[in-house]
Amino acid sequence: MNKVMLVFGTRPEAIKMCPLVNELKSRTDEFETVVTVTGQHREMLDQVLRVFNVIPDYDLAIMKQGQTLFDVTSEVLQNLKTVLEKEGPDVVLVHGDTTTSFAAALACFYLQIPVGHVEAGLRTHDIYSPWPEEFNRQAVDIVSEYYFAPTEASKKNLLEEGKDKTKIWVTGNSGIDALRTTVRDGYSHPELEWASDSRLILITAHRRENLGEPMHRMFRAIRCVMEEHPDTKAIYPIHMNPKVRRAAHEELDGFSRLHIIDPLEVLDFHNFLAASYLILTDSGGIQEEAPSLGKPVLVMRDTTERPEGVSAGTLKLVGTEEDVIYHEFSRLLSDPCEYDAMSHSSNPYGDGYASKRIADVLARH
Ligand code: UD1
Ligand code: UDP
């Protein structure tokens, strides 16, 4: 039997790994499944574990306020060594591009344990954008033995780097597996009731390279446009990073049509996405979820590793300059043709059965 360890530590990794944990755990005759969380996030990770009923076997509990990339990398590397040596897994699965994933893959490399990369092959080809994620994902792919690419485009990126084609499987994105189970008709929430008389704008922002002045510019542009459109209300479930919170409160406090609320549980957030008119974000995962719900997204970043959603027409890169965000956001609110062009639903990231495909590959190898 295969002993499979999954290692993850932040909210987006958990949302995309928990469906896979549950798939592997349901196949007890094929896999022994061990879940190790690094706790790079705390509250935002625990929210997801609760929703998917996943109880970790190991929790490295590394998060501290104001943690640096040095802190996260060294804590994960050191603490995971003990767990890996004790468990001796046949394969370790890591996800995407976080520092948890990079450090976990490095720990496996040092111990010569095979790594499977879930969501392999995403690229911007700009090592500083997003930072440090582009480095993390490339580094994980250097040491991986199994590549679970979400799309043909991500497979192509891996092939162009000379990765062995017999080790790449196109599976779809397991984030869509989660989405398949969360969005429901008849969902209600007091915040959605509050916004029901208006066009709902959903906002998230957290990227490290946007902290500081870019984030201030983003918030100023959003507020300015909303002040000119009285038929809009915004909900902003805010990341727990104190730097994000400070910038948001400085720019957005006192504007009653914009509610800043705590992070939502994933089931709630997906239903908020489904109820929204449009989304402003610098998030990665939301760029994958919104196209299947047919929701236009203005991506407040200079690059994206998710070109499929841009090609599908649902995503538009608007950068972080105040005047560009102001212009694009205003246009989407004022121009029905532009809005219609961006609100077709499409499914470039899979059919919601990525976890099963990944488990099938692991069972065969
Ligand atoms: C991390 C990932 C990023 C991912 C993001 C998802 C890295 C380098 N960054 O960035 O790729 O897009 O998660 O959200 O791996 N905090 C809490 N409680 C929580 C979570 C965070 O208090 O549950 C606060 C802490 O003060 C922490 C800070 O947020 O120090 C930053 O967290 P960190 O994981 O270092 O960076 P993120 O920006 O969340
Ligand atoms: N999300 C959530 N609650 C929120 C905001 C986002 O559950 O309040 C989900 C969202 O649906 C997506 C994921 O968190 O699946 C994205 O996480 P984040 O933006 O923190 O990280 P990224 O995807 O940018 O790495």
Averaged over successive runs of 10 residues, the pLDDT of the chain (365 residues) comes to 94 98 98 98 98 97 97 98 98 98 98 98 97 98 98 98 98 93 94 98 97 98 98 98 98 98 97 98 96 95 95 95 98 97 90 96 95
Put simply, whether the predicted model's pTM sits higher than 0.75 gets the answer yes
Say if 355 falls within a structural domain.
yes
User: What is residue 345's predicted lDDT score, i.e. its pLDDT?
Assistant: 80
Tokens linked to 98: 């976080």
Contacts of 246 (CB under 8 A, 6+ apart): none
Shared-domain flag, residues 121 and 234: no
Shared-domain flag, residues 247 and 270: yes
Shared-domain flag, residues 150 and 6: yes
Q: Are 191 and 235 in contact (CB under 8 A)?
A: yes
User: What is residue 282's predicted lDDT score, i.e. its pLDDT?
Assistant: 98
CATH of the domain at 137: 3.40.50.2000
Say if 305 falls within a structural domain.
yes
Identify which ligand lies nearest to the alpha carbon of 50. 2
Distance in Å, CA 295 to ligand 2 centroid: 15
Say if 221 falls within a structural domain.
yes
Residue nearest to atom 7 of ligand 2 (CA): 266
Shared-domain flag, residues 224 and 152: no
| 8-state DSSP, 143 | H
Cα(77)–Cα(123) distance, rounded to whole angstroms? 24
User: What is residue 180's predicted lDDT score, i.e. its pLDDT?
Assistant: 86
Q: Are 21 and 35 in contact (CB under 8 A)?
A: yes
Distance in Å, CA 244 to ligand 2 centroid: 15
Shared-domain flag, residues 332 and 281: yes
Amino acid at residue number 355: S
Query: Residue 248 sits in which domain range?
Result: 190-343
Shared-domain flag, residues 53 and 167: yes
Cα(344)–Cα(355) distance, rounded to whole angstroms? 26
Tokens linked to 9: 């530590």
Residue 104's closest CA among 27, 5, 16? Answer: 5
Shared-domain flag, residues 147 and 200: no
Neighbours of 316 (CB within 10 A): 17
Distance in Å, CA 41 to ligand 1 centroid: 6
Residue nearest to atom 3 of ligand 1 (CA): 98
Q: Terminal CA-to-CA distance of the chain, rounded, Å?
A: 11
Identify which ligand lies nearest to the alpha carbon of 208. 1
Say if 333 falls within a structural domain.
yes
Instruction: Report CA torsion sign: 316, 321, 322, 327.
Output: negative
Distance in Å, CA 168 to ligand 2 centroid: 26
Residue 339's closest CA among 290, 285, 296, 309? Answer: 296
Shared-domain flag, residues 337 and 355: no
**Count of structural domains, the chain:** 2
Say if 323 falls within a structural domain.
yes
Shared-domain flag, residues 323 and 359: no
Shared-domain flag, residues 230 and 304: yes
Q: Are 314 and 290 in contact (CB under 8 A)?
A: yes
- What are the pocket residues of ligand 1 if the criterion is a CB atom closer than 6 Å to any ligand atom? 10-12, 40-45, 65-67, 69, 72, 97-99, 132-133, 206, 208, 240-242, 284
User: What is residue 249's predicted lDDT score, i.e. its pLDDT?
Assistant: 98
Amino acid at residue number 187: Y
Shared-domain flag, residues 270 and 359: no
Q: Are 235 and 261 in contact (CB under 8 A)?
A: yes
Say if 179 falls within a structural domain.
no
Active-site residue set: 97, 119, 133, 206, 208, 239
User: What is residue 156's predicted lDDT score, i.e. its pLDDT?
Assistant: 98
Neighbours of 158 (CB within 10 A): 22
Shared-domain flag, residues 336 and 357: no
Amino acid at residue number 86: K
Scan for tokens 């996030």, then name that residue.
Answer: 41
User: What is residue 347's predicted lDDT score, i.e. its pLDDT?
Assistant: 84
Say if 185 falls within a structural domain.
no
Say if 228 falls within a structural domain.
yes
Candidate of 203, 283, 304 to mutate for ligand 2, largest count of ligand atoms within 8 Å of Cβ:
283
